[in-house]
Amino acid sequence: IVLTQSPGTLSLSPGERATLSCRANQSVSSNYLAWYQQKPGQAPRLLIYGASSRATGIPDRFSGSGSGTDFTLTISRLEPEDFAVYYCQQYGSSPPYTFGQGTKMEIK
Amino acid sequence: EVQLVESGGGFVQPGRSLRLSCAASGFTFDDYAMHWVRQAPGKGLEWVSGINWNSGIIGYADSVRGRFTISRDNAKNSLDLQMNSLRAEDTALYYCVKDSLASGWYYFDYWGQGTLVTVSS
């Protein structure tokens, strides 16, 4: 499965709403789609699994949606600490796992 | 608190070998599958290899199959990656990653801070 994320870069201001897209070239079984956040110099952190379930400790301004081949990560009101790179990943099927190429969210 | 601490990275010439290790703590190690994921400088994430809880199921990315070998020691709470015939394109930060299931091939819930491997002549 190939995952394509868009846009490549998203320029927004704190307080704005962010919508990130992840599209698969074939259906993702059981909506096994995760989102990760990576800040500069840090390891990735799990945000969302199962397309829409928030991981432990993740603020409710982060939400995931979608099914089949189209998935979305939404950040309702951007905080300064949310500016980072976001990756989607499909899992649950036989390896290899695949990640999207990432969306960089930068401060406008 | 879950901790994953990688070691063994370094500078190595093409064609040589390197062995990475990951020391795990803060969870019941043999209850979960484990993986290695790498990130080349300035690039995205690439899954490298994974192993289920009892080493019965192992997988590799096409880019490393036949050159890398993953293994685990549940008695020592450790995960290893033996990397042979290294190439320049293997240069990356290698993360030790915890799966959320014993059987594996599920989402990744904890990541180490990574160990850097540089392959260059």
Residues A55-95 have pLDDT tens digits of 999 999 999 999 999 999 999 999 999 999 999 999 976 66
Mean pLDDT for the stretch of residues B86-107: 93
> By the 8 A CB rule, do B9 and B116 touch?
yes
Contact A94 B59 (CB under 8 A): yes
| pLDDT given for residue A29 in this prediction | 87
Q: Residue window 29-88, chain B: list those with CB within 8 Å of chain A.
A: 35, 44-47, 50, 59-62
Q: From the list B46, B107, B112, which residue is nearest A49 (CB)? A: B107
Mean pLDDT for the stretch of residues A9-17: 96
| pLDDT given for residue A89 in this prediction | 96
- Between CA A85 and CA A8 the distance in angstroms is 10
| pLDDT given for residue A94 in this prediction | 66
The distance of Cα A9 from the centroid of its chain, to the nearest Å, equals 13
Mean pLDDT for the stretch of residues B41-59: 95
Handedness of CA A55, B104, A68, A98 (dihedral sign): positive
Contact B105 A97 (CB under 8 A): yes
Q: What is the mean pLDDT of chain B?
A: 96
